[in-house]
Amino acid sequence: MARAVPYIGGIIQGGIADYFTERRWERVDKFFKMLTAKISELEIDIAETNKKNKMLEEKITAFDKEYVKSEEFIDFFLSIVDQFTRTNEEIRYEFLVGIVISSMKGPDKNLERDFFMRKISEFSIIHLELLRFYQNPKTAYRSKGLSLNNIHSLTLKNLVKEYFSDINEDLWKAAHDELYNAGFLGQETHNFGPFTASSGLTRAYGMLTPLGKRFIDSCIPYRDINETEES
């Protein structure tokens, strides 16, 4: 069918063939490497006894070895692999690997899990970045190599603006308000307001709604373990 497209048909057909052979198999390999690495990290951390890793143990309970053999989990797993091979966005990779890991605990809340899986696909990179940012702004700043020296003096608007300095302000504001309308965030951007100069960071930590927190906990269960608001 692709070859029938005038002028570019042969090129398209060759590109499609390459995509379904090399690129998609490379992404499948990447998925398994990422998943293996994250599970190994969790197993090491869960075995530790210090206080911070106790937090991890509470957040990631032992995997349900029987459930991961079930047809239900295998179908879910394959659907995640399919999503993974259809994107080339690192943050979406992170969320997809995370939801597999959190789902390995057992069959609870399958409807919510499937809802979250769909949202990973629907949300833009900016939506996902915002949610990850609000999970822990300090961790997010460090991951971008941004300085924490003046972070406590920034207003909420400037805190987010600094983090998204490489994109138009209208874009992250629109994404933020869409997440608010979807029930994932607790304030609209027009309610940011200055309040006090030192209120930005505190307000950022409280931005996720219960739904937003459950989404992040399901999709990035291995992040933010050794980071707290006070650290």
pLDDT digits (tens, 9 = 90+) for 61-100: 567 878 888 888 888 888 898 899 888 899 999 999 999 8
- Compute the average pLDDT of residues 26-42: 84
Residues 6+ apart with CB under 8 A from 216: 131, 132, 135, 208
Residue 201, both tokens: 């960071």
Q: Which residue has the tokens 């969320």?
A: 95
Contact 95, 57 (CB under 8 A): no
Q: Which residue has the tokens 């200055």?
A: 194
Whether the per-residue pLDDT at 134 is higher than 70: the answer is yes
Q: Which segments of 16-117 are extended strands (E)?
A: none
Given this model, what pLDDT does residue 5 score?
Answer: 39
Contact 159, 206 (CB under 8 A): no
Residues 6+ apart with CB under 8 A from 174: none
Given this model, what pLDDT does residue 230 score?
Answer: 41
pLDDT digits (tens, 9 = 90+) for 51-65: 455 555 555 556 787
Backbone angles phi, psi at 186, to 5 degrees: -100, -5
pTM exceeds cut of 0.85? no
pLDDT digits (tens, 9 = 90+) for 168-217: 999 999 999 999 999 999 988 887 766 554 578 888 888 999 999 999 98
Residues 6+ apart with CB under 8 A from 95: 120, 128, 219, 220
208 forms beta bridges with 185
Q: What's the rounded Cα separation, in Å, for the pair 224 and 113?
A: 20
Q: What's the rounded Cα separation, in Å, for the pair 215 and 131?
A: 9
